[in-house]
Structure 1
Amino acid sequence: MAQTFFFYDLETSGFRAQTDRIMQFAGQRTDMDLQPIGEPYNFLVTLSDDTLPSPDALMVTGITPQKTLEEGYSEAECARMVSEEIFTPGTIAVGFNNVRFDDEFIRHLLWRNFYDPYEWSWKDERSRWDMLDVVRLTRALRPDGIEWPMDANGQPTNRLELITKANGIAHDNAHDAFADVAALIEVTKLVKRAQPQLFDYLLTMRDKRAVQRLVNLETKQP
């Protein structure tokens, strides 16, 4: 089956996937050459009455519970779309720190709404890939061709909004999920253009079966 990327980002009511909730979902499907396929997704999700959002999260995103009530889909409808329309067979789910953050929110979303919380990321040639890890490895191993930002203290930083700024990529509304998705696609293109061989290698290594072939745990030989 044909594989595609689905770049996505979430804005949430806080940092804990177990107790906080998704407030905004945005994503764009692309082909393997990073060209867009179809229309993007960008919608709010109604915050449940029993969820107390973090004031800090609301300040960062600018999304209020009232706005989600007025404009958002129900969480059940969001779960249905995620399971049946978005993460379809052959989809590579791509984010920026998604393995440690966004993917956990998706798992808890599906679990609360009676969907399998794991099949979306592995079954029927589905998989996931974290561009934050790709960026970190590229900076460490093959930094040429990309401008790498430093923070205010002169320390290396891999924050998405600083990478886009350093490389002249438009990113006017950081921490809006849709703006972050558009910026992430451009950063992915930048890495692929600057270091295509490393890009392809790391894409292959997202699959544990490829890692198992590289590192033989039975004979303990690489």
Structure 2
Amino acid sequence: MHAVLSCAHDALIRDIEPVPVGAEVLHVCFPWSEDFAAQVKAYADEHGAGLVVVHSTVPPGTCDPHGWVHSPVRGRHPHLAPALRAFIKHFGGHHAAEAAQAWEDAGVRTRVHTLAADTEAGKLWELVQFGVQVRVEKAIHAWCAERGLDADVVYRQMAETYNDGYADLGEHRFLRPVLAHMPGDIGGHCVRPMAALLDHPLAEMVTRGLDS
């Protein structure tokens, strides 16, 4: 985030830890926990921030009651700076337009929404959808292995030619992901842990293990 914003606001951007400075805008990027809201409020009070922008993945309803803006981050760790520049960055909350302006100044495309809860939920549903897609690929791969069938044909080749056909017809709404098979359960630090923040059966499908 510093790499992206500093191109337009170099003199104004700095990490607040361990530097005891005041801050007009506080950008929050640490992981969710049960103490998250209390920690953010403590940082905002300590540094006198008038505007708080939460970029962390959090449960719906975290930011709006405090007047904070939520702006989810997309991309693959650890190469997030190019992703922050590539994706439209969504901002939700009462002060969303104000929060988005600094990113517009840095050349990032933005979109503003009235409620932080919308972007909070949107980020979680993106993760859950990806997790469900991974579960589908793993299920097909295991099903094929049990029956001596070629998963490359059943899953990848069928899906790729399916997508090619609908793309040729201009029906891009029907295109679906084609994922490479990775042994084991869903890895990484965000998809399964963060899916647990969404109360829905599809999220439970993502969070449970392969043997559940």
TM-score by length of 2: 0.25
Please tell me whether Structure 1 or Structure 2 has the larger radius of gyration of its CA atoms. 2
Larger RCO, structures 1/2 (Cα 8 Å, 6+ apart): 1
Q: Which has the higher helix share?
A: 2
Structure-1-length-normalised TM-score: 0.24
